[in-house]
Amino acid sequence: MIIGSHVHFGKDQLVGSVKEAISYGANALMLYTGAPQNTFRSAINLDYIKEAQKLMAENNIVMDNVICHAPYIINLANKEKIEAWHFSINFLKQEIERCTTMGIKYIVLHPGSAVKHTKEEGINNIIEALNLLELDNCKCMILLETMAGKGSECGSTMEEVNTILKGVHSQNIGVCLDTCHLNDAGYDMSAFNQYLDAFARLIGLDKIKCMHINDSKNILNSHKDRHANIGYGTIGFATLLNIINNEKIKDVPKILETPYISKEEGEKELVYPPYKWEIDMIKKGIFNSHLLEDIREYYK
Ligand code: FE
Ligand code: FE
Ligand code: ZN
């Protein structure tokens, strides 16, 4: 099982990220090279890369299972303000360079929101932007994340994702499936094998390079995108466990992006990372109905 979670990327860069993943019992991880909401980025320190690589080797973590997530504010679909669109493309180019320096192979990207454009125009803008990046010359692969279809989000259907993939003149592009987003986009995760069969026919399973494993706070086809802890949402533990253990995608890293836990029930501020406990229950294959209590007890 290749499983991990979203982790921080702080002052000691990849070293801290790897240490955090190890503390959760993970053998995979996903990081943002800075705050997910902004584009301020510090320079990559080569000493930290060496130290992180040593730590990874000691703990059986391979670079294929270290994923980068591009910041949310990159929007390749919206060309209304042409400078903003070029800024997104340039930022992504820099992100590819940072990842290349670190030896990270995969960058997850939200395809983008069309805003005032039609979906079709938005998708064409995404294709045009990705073609400007000349991905054939890049050492990293961009992974289009399947979206919930909130607002004007592009890439919430398999067909939209396929249109983007086919429009890009490079094979150096793949897909990241997000179970919460798929559920919210209208794909029933309890029929995941049927989804995979359709994906295999239209796109090909070899394009799936990363999976985001999240439960959902909302019902099928709600187009909301609010993640829930594993087994605490509408998808449920058994269904998510079946997906994680699916033979056809067994070599694909599974990344948790579930919400942190509040200090007390009902509090708004989310402070405790749940990943150690969620990974533990996934490995055991048994639902922990005291997950929140156990986490609060540990950090108290
Ligand atoms: Fe995402
Ligand atoms: Fe995701
Ligand atoms: Zn999401």
Q: How far is the CA of 111 from the centre of ligand 1 (A)?
A: 10
Q: Where are the alpha helices (DSSP H) in 168-287?
A: 179-185, 192-202, 237-244, 275-284
- Tens of pLDDT, residue by residue over 113-157, are 999 999 999 999 999 999 999 999 999 999 999 999 999 999 999
Q: Take residue 26 and report the two structure tokens written for it.
A: 């993970």
Alpha carbon of 177 to ligand 2 centroid (Å) = 8
Average pLDDT, rounded, for the chain: 97
**What does the alpha-carbon distance between residue 275 and residue 26 come to, in Å, rounded to a whole number?**
9
- Gap between the Cα atoms of 194 and 200, Å rounded: 10
Cα 212 to middle of ligand 2, angstroms: 5
- Dist. CA 286 → ligand 1 center (Å): 27
Ligand 2: distance of its center to the CA of 257 in Å? 7
Contact 72, 147 (CB under 8 A): no
pLDDT bin (cut points 50, 70, 90) of residue 37 is confident
Ligand nearest to the CA of 218: 3
Report the DSSP beta bridge partners of residue 212: 178, 255
How many residues comprise the chain?
300
Going from the Cα of 271 to the center of ligand 2, the distance in angstroms, rounded, reads 20
Tokens of 264: 């007390």
Distance 240 CA to ligand 3 centre (A): 16
Beta carbons of 117 and 86 less than 8 angstroms apart: no
Cα of 146 from ligand 3 centre, angstroms: 9
- Per-residue pLDDT band at 112 (split at 50, 70, 90): very high
Residues 133 and 96 sit within 8 Å (Cβ to Cβ): yes
pLDDT of residue 27: 98
69 CA to centre of ligand 1 in angstroms = 7
For the chain, give every domain's residue range.
Answer: 72-299
CA dist., res. 155 & res. 153, Å (int): 7
The pLDDT, as a whole number, for residue 274 is 98
* Distinct helix (H) and strand (E) counts, the chain: 10, 12
Residue 40 confidence (pLDDT): 85
Burial class from Cβ neighbours inside 10 Å (0-12, 13-18, 19+) for residue 69 reads buried
Between the CA of 253 and the centroid of ligand 3 the distance, in Å, is 17
Residue written as token pair 């259907």: 157
Domain 72-299, CATH number (from 3.20.20.150, 3.30.110.30, 3.30.70.360, 3.20.20.70): 3.20.20.150
Nearest ligand to the CA of 109 is 1
- Using the mean position of ligand 1's atoms as its centre, give its distance from the Cα of residue 300 in Å: 30
State both tokens at 142: 């961009």
CA 29 to centroid of ligand 3, rounded, Å: 17
- Ion ligand 2 — residues with CB < 5 Å: 178, 212
Amino acid 223: pLDDT: 98
Residue 132: Cβ-neighbour burial (10 angstroms; 0-12, 13-18, 19+): middle
The pLDDT of residue 39 is above 90: no
pLDDT, tens digit (0-9, with 9 covering 90-100), for 60-106: 999 999 999 999 889 999 999 999 999 999 999 999 999 999 999 99
What per-residue confidence (pLDDT) applies to 186? 98
Mean pLDDT for 222-237 is 98
User: Does the pLDDT value for residue 36 go beyond 90?
Assistant: no
Cβ pair 278, 291 in contact under 8 A: yes
Nearest partner of 118 among 81, 77, 167, judged by Cα: 77
Over residues 186-200, the pLDDT tens digits come to: 999 999 999 999 999
CA–CA separation, 26 and 7 (whole Å): 11
| pLDDT at res. 278 | 98
Q: Which pLDDT belongs to residue 38? A: 85
- Mean per-residue pLDDT for 167-185? 98
Task: Determine phi and psi for 152, rounding to 5 degrees.
Answer: -105, 25
Looking at the CA of 179, name the nearest ligand. 2
Residue 35, pLDDT score? 85
